[in-house]
Amino acid sequence: MTGGAKKVHWNSIHFVTSAQNKEQYPKLNASSGKPLVEVAFVGRSNVGKSSLINDVFEVKNLAKTSATPGKTQLINFFQIDDALAVIDLPGYGYAKVPFELKKAWGKNIQDYLERSSELSLIFHLLDIRHMPTNDDLAFFEWATFHKKKTTIIFTKVDKLKPNEKVQNAKKILSVLSNNDIEWLYYSTKTHEGQKEVRAILSKVINGTY
Ligand SMILES: Nc1nc2c(ncn2[C@@H]2O[C@H](COP(=O)(O)OP(=O)(O)OP(=O)(O)O)[C@@H](O)[C@H]2O)c(=O)[nH]1
Ligand SMILES: [Mg+2]
């Protein structure tokens, strides 16, 4: 597109495929032939990844949600317009084992995160009600170490009073050993954060985030 930023319409959204390993990853290209920009949603099981994806794109059950942790066991790929690939990763932390990417979460997911040259952003979701678990911290450190651009999303903020929300965010951010981390609040009940996530995705697509 010439003369300005690529406009995202958010109206063509579809599920592409589920994959378990490298061989099954789809090659997602725009109609220009260039690979699509990829954004991944990562976090503890039950933190609200699938719900958030559905809410951001205003589709019911695009990504399957569940009250039972561990619902999403496959890497799910979605395509938005001619612009973006969205990846819903299985939640970590449902197995009660010490965090080790390979053990607790599957080598395939680590492979995906390390391999993808198109992966432009990781949204790391943390439940605003709880301090980060060791798994959360380990993932955050892993992403920092591997220089993966990461933005924190505090989920389920409707469950707290406004002042608790602010206090909890402060506390959680203070234990993440990274000072200039970008973050935002989200609620799928009130849609707080929806505009911000869309704005970030537009920037990612245009290479300005
Ligand atoms: N009140 C409230 N509940 C939420 C919110 N987001 C998600 N939930 C609930 O949290 C539960 C888990 O949501 P999912 O979206 O399935 O979580 P997930 O991270 O995809 O879980 P896995 O696929 O198991 O890793 C569901 O019962 C959702 O309805 C929110 O913003 N507010
Ligand atoms: Mg899920």
Domains of the chain: 13-24+32-205 (3.40.50.300)
pTM for this predicted structure: 0.90
- Read off the pLDDT of residues 24-73 as tens digits, 9 standing for 90 and up: 888 899 999 999 999 999 998 889 998 999 999 988 777 777 666 655 56
Q: Is the CB of 67 under 6 A from ligand 1?
A: yes
Q: How confident is the model at residue 125 (pLDDT cuts 50, 70, 90)?
A: very high
> What DSSP designation does 9 have?
-
Residue 1 confidence (pLDDT) = 44
Q: Is the CB of 70 under 6 A from ligand 1?
A: yes
Residue 74 CA, ligand 2 centroid: distance in Å: 9
Render the burial of 61-92: b for 16+ CB within 10 Å, e for the rest: ebbebeeeeebbebbbbbbbbebbbbbbbbbb
pLDDT at 4 over 50: yes
Q: Is the CB of 168 under 6 A from ligand 1?
A: no
